[in-house]
Amino acid sequence: MLALLLVTATFPAAASAATTVGVAVDQDDATGEAVVLVTDNGTAVENATVNVTGELAYAGAGTYRTDANGTVTLPEPAETQNVTVVAADGDATGETTVRLVGAEFSVDVTQADDGAVTVDVSRAGAAVENATVEVTVENGSYAAAGNYTTDGNGTVELAAPAENVTATVTASEADDAATETVTLLALSAPLDLTVEQAAGVEIDVSRGGEAVENATVNVTSDGNYSGTGTFETGADGTVSLAAPTENVSITVSATADGDTVSETVELTTEFVGEQRNFGQAVRAFLDALRTAGFNGPPGRIISDFATANNPGNADDAPGRSDASDQSDAPGRSDARGQAKKDAADDKRGPPEHAKSGQDGDDSDASKDDRVENDADEEDSEDADADDGDDESEDDEKRPSSDRGNGNGNGRNK
C-alpha cells in the first residue's frame, strides 16, 4: 500500500519537466531579417518545430525546423506587422508574438534641368504602385500642389514651379508613410552675352531680355588691348570698353548667379578709322551748310547725308538705292577748303540737293516744302541785296547833278 502511493506521487513531477521551451525573436536592423531561437533551459534545441503566422500577408509565414544552433531565419516583411512564432520540441512548447518592421518605405523628390519634378515612392527599393502622394507648399504659390496616386512605376510627375517654393511631399500606403521637404526652383532663362564694336566696344549681359546688373565680365586678348581685365555690369547690364589700337581677338566671359557664358570676337582698327572719317565728313557737311548760309530745317538733309555715307550701312541696304546720288554733296571732301569752294559756287544758296525741283522727284519736293520755302525766301533776299548793290554802283557813276538831294528815297525818278 505504501509502495503504491510512492509511485503515484511521482507522476506529477515527470509531467511538469517537459511543458515549455524558450522562444526568442531578434530582427536585424540592417537587413530586416528576423532570427528565431528555441532553447530548453538555456540550451539550443535542434530540430524543434517552428510555426510562423503574420497578421498581414507575410512571405515568412510557414513551418520550419531549427538548425544545429536552434535557430530559424525569417525574411523581412514587406509591411510592418505583428508576427506569432510557436515552437515545439516533443511535448514541450513555447510561443511569442513580436512586431517586425517592414521594408523601408521612402519617398524621393528630384527636379530635372528643365524644371520638371518627379516623386518616387518605394519600399525596400521596389516601386510602390497606388501610393497616395500629397504636395503642399510653405511659401509662395505652386500650381502642382494637391493629391496624387503613384503609377505602375511608383512615380508622380509634377510641373515646374513659376517661382521658387519650399514643398513638402508626403507619401503613404497601408500603414507606411514617408515625408520629404525640398526647395523647388523656378525655370531660369539662360544668360545671354553680346559684344558689339561701334565707336568703342559695348558688352551687354542679359537674361530673358532683362539686363543683368552686377554680372562679372572678364576680358582677355591675344594682342595689345587696353580693355582687358575684370569688370562689373551696371544697372543697364552693360560694360563699355575703349576702341582697339590694333586688330585683336578678344574673349569675353560673363558670370551671374552661377551661370557663365563666353564669346570671342574680332576687333578691327579699320572700323574705328571708318567711323572717325565718317564723323569728319558729317562735320564738314554741317560746315558747308553754315558757310552756304542755309538756315532752314536741316533734319532731313543731314539724315539723308548720314544714311548715304555711314560706313556701317551696306550699299544694298533698304532705302540706299539713291546713295550714289549724294556723291557731289557739299562736305564730301575731308578738306575744309573744298567745302568752302563748293559753297562759293552755290552763291550762298542752299546745297544743290536741298533746292526744289533740281534733283528730287515730286514726292521728295512735297516732303521738303518747309526747307524749300525758307531757301526761296533767302534767294529773294539775296536778289534784293544784289539789286541794291548794283544801284549804288550806278549812283556813283552818275554826275552829281543826277544824284538825289539826300532828302528823298535815295533814288531819282
Q: What is the 3-state secondary structure (H, E, C) of 187-213?
A: CCCCEEEEEEECCCEEEEEEECCEECC
Lowest-confidence segment of 13-22, 79-88, 165-174, 261-270 by average pLDDT: 13-22
Of residues 392 and 24, more confidently modeled? 24
- From 160, 185, 182, 159, select the one nearest 169 (Cα to Cα): 182
User: What is the distance between the alpha carbons of residues 264 and 291, in angstroms, rounded to a whole number?
Assistant: 46
234-246: pLDDT as tens digits: 999 999 999 898 9
Nearest alpha carbon to residue 290 among 340, 333, 329: 340
Question: Hey, what's the cell of 102?
Answer: 517592414
Rg (CA), the chain: 51
Q: Which of 183-192, 219-228, 330-339 has the highest mean pLDDT?
A: 219-228
Which of 94, 88, 92, 84 shows the shortest CA–CA distance to 34? 84
Mean of pLDDT values over 47-56: 96
pLDDT at residue number 209: 83
Which of the four CATH numbers 1.10.3720.10, 3.40.50.2300, 2.60.40.2410, 3.40.1160.10 does domain 105-184 have?
2.60.40.2410
Per-residue pLDDT band for 22 (boundaries 50, 70, 90) equals: very high
Instruction: Answer yes or no: CATH 3.90.1150.10 is held by domain 20-100.
Output: no
110: enclosing H helix or E strand: strand 105-111
pLDDT greater than 90 at residue 194: yes
Residue 162 pLDDT grade (very low, low, confident, very high; cuts 50, 70, 90):
confident
CATH code of the domain made up of 191-267: 2.60.40
pLDDT at 369 over 50: no
Average pLDDT over residues 50-57: 95
- Strand, coil or helix: 23: strand
Going by pLDDT thresholds of 50, 70 and 90, the confidence category of residue 139 is: confident
- Look at 84 and 413; give whichever has higher pLDDT: 84
pLDDT tens-digit series, residues 269-307:
876 555 555 666 666 667 666 665 666 667 777 777 677
What local confidence, expressed as pLDDT, does residue 391 receive?
Answer: 45
Which cell numbers in the block locate residue 408? Answer: 528823298
Instruction: Report the pLDDT value the prediction gives residue 75, as an integer from 0 to 100.
Output: 95
State whether the Cα torsion 165-171-176-182 is positive or negative. negative
Domain residues of the chain, as ranges? Answer: 20-100, 105-184, 191-267, 272-381
**Between 166 and 332, whose confidence is greater?**
166
